[in-house]
Chain A
Amino acid sequence: MTTQTATESAFEETAPRASAISHALASSPRPPRPTALSTSLTFGQRALLKIRHVPEQLFDVTLFPVMMTLLFTWLFGGAIAGSTNAYIQFLAPGVLVQSVLMITMYTGVTLRTDIDKGVFDRFRSLPIWRPSALVGMLLGDAVRFTIASVITAIVCLGLGWRPAGGFTGVVVGVLLLLVFAFSLGWIWTFLSMILRTPNAIMGAAMFVLMPLTFGSNIFVDPSTMPGWLQAWVNVNPVSHLVNSVRGLMNDVSVGSEVLWTLGWSAALVVVFGSLTMWKYRDPR
C-alpha cells in the first residue's frame, strides 16, 4: 500500500479495465443502512482527515486565540485591573469563550465552500439520516475548538492565570463552552444555506458575534456600563456562558447560570437546526 515515487508514474499510466469495473459493479453487496450515529461520526472523521491533509486550516484555531489573549491582556490589564497578572485572573475564562466563539464562524465558511464545490450535493444525494453531514461537521469542529481552548488556556497560564477550580474546573468549563459552540454553529450552517458567498457569511457572522462577545461581561464588569448596555449584557446568552465558565474555573457556585447556558444552547439547536434542515432540502 506504500506509494513510491518511482512506481507512481507507472501506475498513473494504467488505464481503467472494463472487466475489473464490471467485476466491481457486480461485487457490491448493498450493506445494511447505517445508523444516524455512524454516519455522523463518519462525517466527523472526514473533518479530521481534512485537518490532516490541509493543516493550514489550523491557523485560525492556533494563532488567533494566542493573539487575542496576549493583546487583550496587555492592552487592558494595566488600565482595568492595575496589572496584567490581576487582569488575567478575571479575563482568562472570558477570553477562552471569546476565542472559541469567534472561530465557530469558520464552520459556515467551510460549509459554503463545500456547497459551492458540489461536495455537499453528493452527501445530500446519499440515503442517510439527513442532518448527519452537518452534525458530523460540527463534531469535527469541536476538535478544532478543543485545540483552541487548550492553546488559550496554556497562554493564560503562562501569563500568570491560576484558576481556583484546578484542572477539573477548567475541563468542565471548556466542555460547557464546547456545547454552546456546537449549538451556536447551527446559526452559521443556516447562514451558509441562504447566503451565497463565504465573504457574505463572514460579514453576517461578525455582525452577530461582535455584540455577542464584546457586549458581554468577557472584558469588564458590567456595573460601570450605561443602563441600556447593562440590560443587553444581562440577557446576552454569552454572559450566562461566561458566568458559568468563570464560576466553574474559579470554583465559585454558579447557580442557575449553567441551566441558562444549556437552555440557550437547546434553543439555538431547535431554532437554527430546524431552519438549517428546512433550507437543506433546497439550498441555493
Chain B
Amino acid sequence: MTELAIETNGLTKIYGDTRAVDGVDLAIPRGGVHGFLGPNGAGKTTTIRMLATLIRPDAGSARVLGFDTEREADEVRSRVSLTGQFASVDEDLPGRDNLRLLAKLYGYSSAAAAARADELLEAFGLTGAAGRQVKKYSGGMRRRIDIAASIVVTPELLFLDEPTTGLDPRSRNEVWDVVRAMVDFGTTVLLTTQYLDEADQLADRISVIDHGKVIAEGTSTELKASVGSGTVHVRVMHRDDRPTAKDILARELATEIEEANDPQLLVANVTDTGRVTRALTSLEDSGIALAQFSLGQPTLDEVFLALTGKPVESDEEVAA
C-alpha cells in the first residue's frame, strides 16, 4: 500500500538532558537518494539508528518500508542495510573473511558465501586486497568494503553514512558512481553528509536537521530559493578596499552585506537583481579593482548558514 520508504511521527530520543532527536517527522518516498544534512551532533545519526532498529525511540514512531521499527523490527532488518560508522566491518579480519561471514549470516551456504564474497570483491575492485586485514586498507578501499558489506544481500533501503569523508577527489567520484549504480538498480538511499556539494551531486531531496529537529526540506534548488533569489559574490583585488566596497554595495543594493572569512570577499543576498548592475558600475567608478563579481544561486553552504546560523563544517562536539 504505502509508497513511502520512511515515515516518522514525532520521533524522539532523549539522552540525559539532551533531546538528541526532538520530534522528527519525515515522509521519504521510495527510490532515489534522500540527503540528510546537518552539523555534528544535530541528531542525524541518532535518527538513523532508530530507523535501523539499533536503538528504540523514547517517543513517537517510525515505519520503514511499511514496517513498524519496534513491532516489526525483524522485517525492517531484513530489508535495510547500514554502512560506515553505523555498522562497521571488522578491521582485524581481511575483506574476504568479512564478506564471507556476513553472507553466511544471511543464510548462504559456505560455498555460496565464498562465491558471493568473490563476486563483490571483484565488482568493487578489491580482489587484490581480499586477503589483507581491513585496517590496512586505504580510505577509499575502506569505504568500498563498507559498501560491499552492506549489499551482500541487496537491500531495499541503504543508510549511507558520510561515504566520502576524508577521501581524495578520485575516490570520491568512485564512491558516487557506486551510489548511482545502486539507485539505478532501485535501492533507496538515505545519505547523511556534511558535504553540501555531495548532497548537491547525489541527493534528489534534502532534509536539513539541527538540534534534533528537521528545519528545512526540499530539493537543493528549492532550499536555495528559500534563502533568496540570488547571491552576489564580490571579491576585491586588494583586501584594504573591502570596507569601501562594502559601503558602496550596502548603498546600492540596499541590503545587508556580509564579510566572509575570506578577507577579500563580500557576500549579499539580493531580491531585486536589477540593482546589481548599478552596484558594479559604482564600484568601477570609485576605482576599486575587482577579482570576481558574480550573481548566482546561493551555495548549499550559504543555505545552511542562513538556516542554522552556523556553517555546516562547525565541529562543535555535542555530547550524544
Interface membership of A224, Cβ < 8 A? no
Which A residues are CB-close (under 8 A) to B116? 28
Instruction: State whether B107 touches A46 (Cβ < 8 A).
Output: no
In contact, A122 and B89 (Cβ under 8 angstroms): yes
In the complex, per-residue mask of B94-138: 1 if CB is within 8 Å of any chain A CB, else 0:
100100011011111100100010011011111111111100001
Cβ of A125 and Cβ of B53 under 8 Å apart?
yes
CA distance A7 to B128 in the complex (A): 7
| Contact of A24 with B92 at beta-carbon distance under 8 Å, contacts A34-B105, A126-B77, A281-B56 already known | no
Per a CB cutoff under 8 Å, which of A22, A26, A50 touches B93?
A50
Task: Determine the distance from Cα of A276 to Cα of B270 in the docked complex, in whole angstroms.
Answer: 59
Selecting from B30-38, B144-152, B287-295, B308-316, the interface stretch reads B144-152
* Distance in angstroms between the alpha carbons of A21 and B127 in the assembled complex: 14
Q: Which of B94, B107, B141 contacts A33 (CB 8 A)?
A: B107
Interchain CA distance A24-B93 in the complex, whole Å: 22
A119 & B90 in contact (Cβ 8 Å cutoff)? yes
Instruction: Report the minimum CB–CB distance from B291 to chain A (whole Å).
Output: 37
Residues of B within 8 A of A19 (CB): 181
| A residues less than 8 Å from B88 (CB atoms) | 117-119, 121-122
**Residue B87 CB within 8 A of the other chain:** yes
A82 and B131 CA atoms in complex are apart in Å by 55
Q: Is B133 within 8 A of A126, CB to CB?
A: no
Size range of the chain A interface in the assembly: 35 or more
A121–B174 contact, CB under 8 A?
Answer: no
**Chain A min CB distance to B115 (Å):** 10
| A18 and B74 within 8 A (CB) | no
Q: Is the CB of A22 within 8 A of B185?
A: yes
CB neighbours (8 Å) of A282 from chain B are: 55-56
Contact A16 B178 (CB under 8 A): yes
Contacts A3-B128, A28-B151, A126-B105 hold; do A121 and B123 have CB atoms under 8 A apart? no
Q: Which of A153-195 contact B (CB under 8 A)?
A: none
Assess whether A11 is in contact with B123, with CB atoms less than 8 Å apart.
no
Spot the interface stretch: B78-86, B191-199, B240-248, B272-280: B78-86
Structural contact, A18 and B180, CB atoms closer than 8 A: yes
A16-B177, A17-B125, A26-B185 known; A121-B144 Cβ under 8 A? no
Q: Is the CB of B101 within 8 A of A25?
A: no
Would you call A53 and B124 a contact (CB within 8 A)? no
Whose C-beta in chain B lies nearest to the C-beta of A31? B107
The interface residues of chain B lying within 8 Å CB-to-CB of A235 are none
Report Cα–Cα, A8/B185, bound state, in Å: 30
Q: Which residues of B contact A118 (CB under 8 A)?
A: 85-88
Residues in chain B near residue A15, CB distance under 8 A: 125, 174
CB-defined contacts of A126 to chain B, threshold 8 Å: 77, 102, 105-106
Interface of A is mostly: helix
A46 to B89 Cα, complex, angstroms: 12
Determine if A34 and B123 form an interchain contact, defined as CB atoms under 8 angstroms apart.
no
Distance in Å from the Cβ of A86 to the closest Cβ of chain B?
Answer: 45
Judge whether B154 is part of the interface by a CB distance below 8 angstroms: yes
Q: Which of B177-222 contact A (CB under 8 A)?
A: 177-178, 180-182, 184-185, 187
Task: Give CA–CA (A17, B107) in the complex, Å.
Answer: 26
Interface residue? A79 (CB, 8 A) = no
A67 at interface by CB-CB < 8 Å? no
Contact string, B9-53, partner A, CB cutoff 8 A, digits 1/0? 000000000000000000000000000000000000000010011
**Chain B 250-291 near chain A by CB (<8 Å), digits 1 or 0:** 000000000000000000000000000000000000000000
Residues from chain A with Cβ under 8 Å of B52 in the complex: 125
B305 interfacial by beta-carbon distance below 8 Å: no
Taking the complex as formed, is B237 at the interface, i.e. its CB lies under 8 A from any CB of chain A?
Answer: no
Flag A40-51 by CB within 8 Å of B: 1 or 0 each: 001101100110
In the complex, what residue of chain A is closest to B83 when comparing beta carbons?
A122
Whether, in the assembled complex, A268 has its beta carbon less than 8 Å from a beta carbon of chain B, the answer is: no
From B90, B128, B184, give the contact of A14 (CB < 8 A): B128
**Contact between A12 and B141, CB atoms less than 8 A apart:** yes
B54 touches A14 (CB 8 A): no
Complex contact B93–A16 (CB within 8 A): no
Contact between A125 and B77 (Cβ–Cβ < 8 Å)? yes
In the complex where A11-B127, A15-B174, A22-B185 touch, is A119 in contact with B97 (Cβ < 8 A)?
Answer: no
Q: A25-B185, A30-B153, A50-B93 are in contact. Are A39 and B123 (CB under 8 A)?
A: no
Also in contact, A21 and B90, with CB within 8 A (given A10-B128, A31-B107): no
> B90 to chain A: which residues have CB within 8 Å?
46, 50, 114, 117, 119
Do B178 and A18 touch across chains, with their CB atoms under 8 A apart? yes
Cα–Cα, bound, A98→B290 (Å): 79
Question: What's the least CB distance linking A48 to chain B, in Å?
Answer: 11
B104/A16 in contact, CB under 8 A: no
User: Once the chains bind, are B105 and A125 in contact (CB under 8 Å)?
Assistant: no
Count chain B CB atoms within 10 A of each CB in A18, A23, A27 and give the residue with the most.
A18
Question: Can you list 17 A-B contacts with CB-CB less than 8 angstroms, sorted by A residue number?
Answer: A9-B128, A11-B126, A12-B125, A14-B127, A18-B178, A22-B184, A24-B151, A28-B116, A30-B78, A31-B109, A34-B107, A45-B104, A46-B90, A53-B97, A117-B90, A122-B88, A122-B149
New A-B contacts (13) at CB < 8 Å, excluding given A31-B112, A122-B102: A11-B126, A16-B177, A18-B180, A18-B181, A25-B151, A30-B106, A30-B107, A34-B107, A54-B92, A119-B88, A122-B89, A122-B149, A127-B78
Binding site for B on A (CB under 8 A): 3, 7-12, 14-28, 30-34, 38-39, 42-43, 45-46, 49-50, 53-54, 114, 117-119, 121-128, 281-282
3 A-B pairs closest in CB distance: A11-B128, A14-B125, A31-B107
